[in-house]
Amino acid sequence: LCLKVLRPRHRLFSINTAGSLFWVLKTYTVIMSQEENKPAKSRRILVIDDDPHSIDIIIEPLKWEGYNTLGVNSLDEGLEVIDSWMPIIIILDFKEKDIRFKALTKIREIRPLASLLMLSDESSTESIILGLDSGADDYIVKPFVPLELLARIRTHLRIRDLQEQLLFANEKLKE
């Protein structure tokens, strides 16, 4: 993780409230530029879809942006790839609801911080709520607009970058 550190702002101080110790970092203003530090080819995105033709349709716009993508057509194969390849975004598209929710549960166990995007042709409010409440970070209704998919991917990458910055800052606080 490459960070740019700007001018110092304030000191590091702690606040003890109700027996809990909270550290507040106000030492530096830290920024990170995704374009300079995270090239698209370093961003691993896995597509798990039970329809091989759909995998190509989903991966094509990701290739436009230069993302490092891989597509598999079974949950078992997807779990193996997740364990070894460690993607930061996983796109799921299964026709059967049971497999969809089984996949969400298993993937969350292996990669709790990965962004999970669920693609589905079910557009009812109940289906969307169930998908999100079951562990998906985003729900995209098919047919989807490729540019919207890319915008959502960029959003999840920004969130991921912020998570990494927080983890880095927490480690620095522990030192």
pLDDT of residue 37: 59
User: Closest by alpha carbon to 58, among 49, 50, 66?
Assistant: 49
Long-range contacts of 162-169 (CB under 8 A, 24+ apart): 163/113, 164/1, 165/1, 165/3, 165/30, 165/32, 168/1, 168/3, 169/25, 169/30
Pairwise CA distance, residues 122 & 10, whole Å: 50
pLDDT of residue 23: 32
Pairwise CA distance, residues 2 & 132, whole Å: 32
Q: What are phi and psi of 105, to 5 degrees?
A: -65, -50
> pLDDT tens digits for the chain (175 residues)?
333 333 333 333 333 333 332 333 333 333 333 334 578 888 999 999 999 999 999 999 999 999 999 999 999 999 999 999 999 999 999 888 888 888 999 999 999 989 999 999 999 999 999 999 999 999 999 999 999 999 999 999 999 999 889 989 988 888 8
Full-model pTM: 0.76
- Cα–Cα–Cα angle for 17, 19, 21, rounded to 5 degrees: 65
Sole residue written with tokens 């003890």: 16
Q: What is the DSSP letter of 42?
A: G
Using an 8 Å Cβ cutoff, are 81 and 46 in contact? yes
Give Cα 150 distance to the centre of its chain: 13
pLDDT of residue 157: 95
